[in-house]
Amino acid sequence: MFARLALCSRLPSRNWQSNGCSVSFRAFSQAKFSLPRPHGKSFAHRSELKQAKRIVVKLGSAVVTRGDECGLALGRLASIVEQVAMLQNQGREMMIVTSGAVAFGKQRLRHEILLSQSVRQALHSGQNQLKEMVNNSLKCKILDKHLLITLEFNFCEISVFQSIPVLEARACAAAGQSGLMALYEAMFTQYSTCTAQILVTNLDFHDEQKRRNLNSTLHELLRMNIVPIINTNDAVVPPPVPNSDLQGVNVISIKDNDSLAARLAVEMKADLLIALSDVEGLYDSPPGTDDAKLIDIFYPGDQQSITYGTKSRVGIGGMEAKVKAALWALQGGTSVVIANGTHPKVTGHVITDIVEGKKVGTFFSEVKPAGPTVEQQTEMARHAGRSLASLHPEQRGEIICCLAELLTEKKDEILSANKKDLEIATASGRFSHALINRLALSTSKLNSLAIGLRQLSVSSRDSVGRVLRRTRVANNLELEQITVPIGVLLVIFESRPDCLPQVSALAIASGNALLLKGGKEAANTNKILHQLTQEALSIHGVADAIQLVSTREEVEDLCRLDKMIDLIIPRGSSQLVREIQRAAKGIPVLGHSEGVCHVYIDSDASIDKAIDIVRDSKCDYPAACNAMETLLIHRDLLRTPIFDQIIDMLRTEHVKIHAGPRFASYLTFSPSEVKSLRTEYGDLECCIEVVDSMQDAVDHIHKYGSSHTDVIVTENEETAEQFLQQVDSACVFWNSSSRFADGYRFGLGAEVGISTARIHARGPVGLEGLLTTKWVLRGEGHTVADFSEQGSMTYLHENIPVPQGNFS
């Protein structure tokens, strides 16, 4: 029977205010019971976890207890409580199944025993023996009302610890349960959240009346916005079977709560069960062993592919027990995630990350996708990419030429798929005119792509394996520096399906494996273009080297594959690039966050050149990252014919003008003043600002630009050269449109993007930017000892000429 429920004076609900109070009662439970009728289907994908309303959080023994297995990990517990309280305050219904009473009680009882023994020894040993104990370095400190004893015996052979009796688990649980609950109550009080304690045993859960009572009590607590904290009543359960794999003496195993959490989750029709342990999730073999891989999604029936290792340092369940409990809950309609709750870098957000659908731990799902997972795709791409890199340069060129031919031969199919995407995007009303323009393909675009790819196929013959440097280190000891692929590239792009064949061709030419993640708005176009790419790759048996990620993988999750991906290249809006740069932990990101490009009209500029360059830079393709966003005009040109003609031209082209602060001060009736001089409009809009000189223009560009592309229009060669030298941007032009900042126009054949970084590649990144180097040393049994003072050899370090087109 349940004990009477003692309600606190102010309970959090729609009608009551919370003061962080606690409710305590007991329930008898936990014997085996039949699976209730499933309350519904579990979530099929991680992204659906955001919809979880009722959530059970199971805190394993290793999460709650300290490393010494005596006491609680207060820091971890506090961060977990904060997350649970935050989700509760969002309107979700949170429940906690916790361990920790035995560990907390063990700490308290050991302190009491040590204190008692030290007092008895002081009373019975006499003054002389007490002095002897001091001389043998007995150190006592009282910390926070508990006695901490540090013993450093130099001569004595008897230790106080050896006389401590074996601490029985049930006694520890009885001593620790109240303290554990008081700790939870104090922590949740900080977030104005009320808690209630429920203790269950393994005696009478099969009793239908008691089971209904438990269900009714939990529903009532959840209705009143209270967080139930559930634990097995270890003070009265039979003692656990000793664990032979634990280290040390007098170590008490803490009762496992995996099956309890699963049963309660199903009984309460919970949407999600989060089981926190001391491992990242479920591995295909014991963690720490060679080739052990974390399983992202686990499906029923996959048990045969798993090799279980030993359990954690505390607890009696282990991973096998967790998997069985998880599958049982999944069968009952509750989604399950097993994750690490002890890692200091993730504990503070592990629960909220799981609820947000991020790739954390192992997600249990009944719906198996038709295709491979993104991890499997990455492995396939890496394996085929190595075969691609080993092909002869002519063979890689053949693949690119084949792709170019397919773009023209299959143009009707490509344009038909693109038409579907355009219709869907337009009907949705969610995309700007600029993004629709980026999404659209045409016959002329496909022809230009094919020309660029054929151009690239020629340059690809001088890429992988090219000798950059050759040195004779010593006699019969030669060193080469050669070009090699980077590895696995991840290119994330949005609304630009023409990016797919460009990037694919560059990956083929450079021998890199490639993962492509396109936007949903171009799904149909990307699918046909990827099929054509794999058709071209198949002529030399490397079709898997380029993979299109079509699963529900979030961009942030892809950016966490730091052990599988070597370089990320974002192609899209500045917001997309910034998000990827923030999310990519441990993976280099090649790209630029903004394209705030400037055109500076000098006092010595030609009228005709200025008008043509400004028109082309702004109006040719306003959505491009190399389009002009800010027009800088020398102060002396105000109210002159060149200024008037530029303004008339922009109005004719329907360009909306925003006035910079200085430009606005010269006008009686000015256009709307710009909100920021760092704006990338991406449309028929631009900012006009006035500067006093070329140096003033350079200073403005350095302060407000994005180091992308900047232009000077002038007939003064000296001024132009100073501008070209001083402006620190990836591309700096004189008397030419900013739209020339493009890999195809530079003769690179194609580009993966424009980089504003200052290391590796900068500007339009073509074939060379996707290569790195390695050093190859060829000797005949040489050792470093041969070159020591007592050795017989000396270093030569002679540079050997490298003929053009020489390959290793």
- What does the H/E/C string look like for 745-769? CCCCCCCCEEECCCCCCCEEECCHH
Contact 691, 632 (CB under 8 A): yes
Nearest to 337 by CA among 309, 304, 359, 320: 359
- The region that residue 165 occupies, defined by phi over 0 for left and psi between -120 and 50 for alpha, beta otherwise, is beta
Q: What is the DSSP-derived secondary structure letter of residue 591?
A: S
* Distance in angstroms (rounded) separating the CA atoms of residues 348 and 83: 8
How many CB atoms are located within 10 Å of the residue 777 CB? 11
What integer pLDDT is reported at residue 374 of this predicted model? Answer: 87
| Per-residue pLDDT tens digits for 325-374 | 899 899 989 999 999 999 888 888 999 999 999 889 999 998 887 788 88
Q: Residues 6 or more apart from 784 whose CB is under 8 A from it?
A: none
Q: Which two tokens stand for residue 173?
A: 């649980």
Strands 93-98 and 226-232, sheet pairing:
parallel
DSSP element (H, E) containing 197: strand 194-200
CA–CA separation, 353 and 346 (whole Å):
9
Residue keyed to tokens 């580009």: 751
Q: Which residues contact 492 (CB under 8 A, 6 or more apart)?
A: 517, 555, 558, 568, 569, 570, 571, 572, 576, 580
**Of 644, 638, 503, nearest to 567 (Cα)?**
503
Task: List CB contacts of 437: < 8 A, sequence separation 6 or more.
Answer: 621, 623
**How many whole angstroms separate alpha carbon 576 and alpha carbon 557?**
14
Pairing of strands 709-713, 731-734: parallel
In this structure, what DSSP letter does residue 239 have?
Answer: P
DSSP for 246-267 reads --SSSPPPPPP-HHHHHHHHHH
Beta strands in 486-627 (DSSP E): 488-493, 513-517, 546-548, 567-571, 597-601
Q: Are strands 546-548 and 513-517 parallel, antiparallel or unpaired?
A: parallel
According to DSSP, the β-strands at 546-548 and 567-571 are unpaired
Longest alpha-carbon distance in the chain: 110
Query: Rounded to an integer, what distance in angstroms lies between the CA atom of residue 445 and that of residue 525?
Result: 14
Task: Determine the residue type at 170.
Answer: R
Quote the CA–CA distance of 396 and 511 in Å, as a whole number.
8
Q: Are 636 and 603 in contact (CB under 8 A)?
A: yes
Q: How many residues does the chain have?
A: 808
Task: Enter the tokens of residue 160.
Answer: 């106080």
> CA 113, CA 215: separation in Å to the nearest integer?
40
Radius of gyration of the chain (CA): 35
Alpha-carbon torsion (552, 555, 561, 565), positive or negative = positive
Q: Using CA atoms, how far apart are residues 3 and 411, in angstroms rounded to an integer?
A: 75
Element housing 471 (H / E)? strand 467-474
Domains of the chain by range and CATH? 46-100+194-237+252-364 (3.40.1160.10), 374-462+481-565+572-583 (3.40.605.10), 597-751 (3.40.309.10)
For residues 43 and 297, the answer to whether their CB atoms sit within 8 Å is: no
Q: Which two tokens stand for residue 366?
A: 């009944």
Say how far apart CA 603 and CA 716 lie, in whole Å.
9
Strands 226-232 and 272-277 turn out to be: unpaired
Assess contact for 95 and 227: CB atoms under 8 A: yes
Name the stretches of the chain with pLDDT < 70.
Answer: 1-40, 68-70, 117-166, 202-206, 235, 237-256, 304-305, 307-317, 552, 593, 670, 805-808
Which pair of tokens denotes residue 495?
A: 């609304």
Q: Is 568 helix (H, G, I), strand (E, B) or coil?
A: strand
Contacts of 334 (CB under 8 A, 6+ apart): 42, 56, 262, 265, 266, 269, 270, 271, 272, 273
| Confidence at residue 32, expressed as pLDDT on a 0 to 100 scale | 37
